[in-house]
Structure formats: structure tokens, C-alpha cells
Amino acid sequence: MGKRNLKICDFLHTPAGRLAFEWEEACVARVVEDSFGYRALQVGIPQIDFLAANRIASHVCTVSGEKIPAYPGLQQRGFVYARPFELPFASESMDLIVLPHALELSGSVERARRTLKEAARVLVPQGRLVITAFNPLSLWGLRQRLSGIGLGGPYLPSGSSLVTLARLRDWFGLLGLDIDRGAFGCYEPPCRSASAMHSWRWMDKAGDRWWPSLGGVMMLSAVKVLEGMRLIGRVSFSDRKITVAGRRFAAQAGARREAGR
């Protein structure tokens, strides 16, 4: 596991990858099972069907590359070649969108922001957006930063642009996405072997109670809301002025009718 370049497809087969995506599948399933509509979209990681628990009839998954991937069930789900920050769908055309690590795997923080903005564009009003991401403020995130300065090989997929929860909240708010659910998981230290990872499983319960925001993986779910009318302050009305103005308006209207005869 000392590779200098760790792709997401390789990470899926590591102990950390299996642990992370097992937690994510269960977490996302609890959120999307109650989402309804006509079309649902998963952006990236076609190896795992994050929409399996959802009952929307039409499921689409974006993939990258030139060859058609032979992942189980992908042909039945439907797929389209697309980059996450340039989705080939009409605005407000998807009722449910899942972004499994699409933000950090986009290549840069700017592209991560564009990816989220593009998902918000495609999502219908009152539609649901679900993202999963690696937490930079965790032991896993710290281990990945150490690999960036030459201390060991990458622990998470290479090129991941990890985004903090605070910045994600800002982006969500600016795009009209109201976060209503969230969770952290995978509090184990960044171990390389499955046995070592298993010996630290007790930290999941401890971490969820004592340091809940330091999990290696996080999930956020939000609903797209539309801005409505806002009261900008208190407005005082005078009954006397309204009455006088009403009488003046009535008198002027009567004079115009008389002049028109």
C-alpha cells in the first residue's frame, strides 16, 4: 500500500475503503429511501449503487473514461459520460442527487465548488441533495496531509481536495441548500491492515459520543429551497391618510368619467 498514486477504484479494496463505503452505503440508504420523484442521479463511483434503497423509477449514474464499465447493475441503472462540474442535464430536472466523494475527487477546491453549484442547478426545488466526503479534520485527513509532504504513501485517493465542514456549510447556504441531516463515521486510526482496523472498531461508539465531528467520513443531506418575499422592516400606516387619499382618488376618477361623457 505504499503506492504514490492511489486511485479511488484501488482505495475501495483497502481496509479503510471497505470500512468507509460500508458506513456510507448504510447512511445514505437511510436518507434516500424516503425521497420521491421522477429521476435520481448519482455522480461518480459507479462501482457502488448508492441509490439502491431509493424507489424512484429512473436512476442515472455518471461515469468517466472511454470504455463502458462492467459494473454490476450499471446497464440497468443507466449511465452517462460526464464530468461532475459539467453535468449534461437540464436545470431543475433531478429530484434526488447523490454526490459520493464527487467534491474532493473533482481535482481542486474550485472544481469542488463548481461541482456543488452544478448539482444545485440540476436539482428541482424541494429536491434532495446528499453528499459524502472525507473529513480533513480527522485522523484520516491528517494522515493524508502527511503523505502530501512525503511521509508515507497516500492513505486516501490521490489528488483529493478535502473541504472542511465549515466551508461546505457556506457553499450550501449560498446555493439555497438547507442542510437538514448530517453524520460522521469511521473514527478508527488510519491503519493499513484489516485486523488492526477491526481492533479499533470500539472507537466508533466512543467517537460518536465524545468527538463526533472528528470522524474520517461525513455525510450531509440538504433540500433545495427557493427564496420568497421578505419583510424588510416595519411599515407604519395612517388610517387618516389612507382615507383622504382614497377620497382624492375617487374624486379624480369621477372627474375623469364626467369629462369623458
98 within a domain of the structure (yes/no)? yes
Question: Is 258's pLDDT higher than 70?
Answer: no
Residue type, 104: E
Model confidence pLDDT, tens digit, residues 84-143: 999 999 999 999 999 999 999 998 999 999 999 999 999 999 999 999 999 999 999 999
Cell matching residue 121: 442547478
Is 221 or 253 the better-scoring residue by pLDDT? Answer: 221
The stretches of 123-238 forming alpha helices (DSSP H) are 139-148, 165-174, 194-199, 203-210
pLDDT computed for residue 242 by the predictor? 44
Residue 38 falls within a domain, yes or no? yes
Segment 53-67, tens digit of pLDDT: 999 999 999 988 655
Print the domain residue range for 24: 8-230
Residue 235 lies in a domain: no
- 2 lies in some domain: no
Residue 3 lies in a domain: no
pLDDT reading at 171 higher than 60: yes
Over the stretch 198-222, which tens digit does the pLDDT of each residue have? 898 888 888 888 888 899 999 999 9
> Per-residue pLDDT tens for 225-250?
976 656 666 655 555 444 444 455 45
Residue 85 within any structural domain of the chain: yes
Report the alpha-carbon angle 108-113-115, nearest 5: 90
Q: What's the CATH code of the domain at 141?
A: 3.40.50.150
Does 166 have pLDDT greater than 60?
Answer: yes
Q: What are the distances in angstroms from CA 92 to CA 41, 80, 85, 158, 260?
A: 12, 18, 16, 33, 51
Question: Number of folded domains in the chain?
Answer: 1
Judged by phi (left if over 0) then psi (alpha if -120 to 50, else beta), residue 52 lies in alpha
pTM of the model: 0.82
H/E run at residue 243: helix 239-260
C-alpha cell at 230: 421578505
Contact in structure between 78 and 59 (CB atoms under 8 Å): yes
Specify the pLDDT at position 234.
Answer: 66
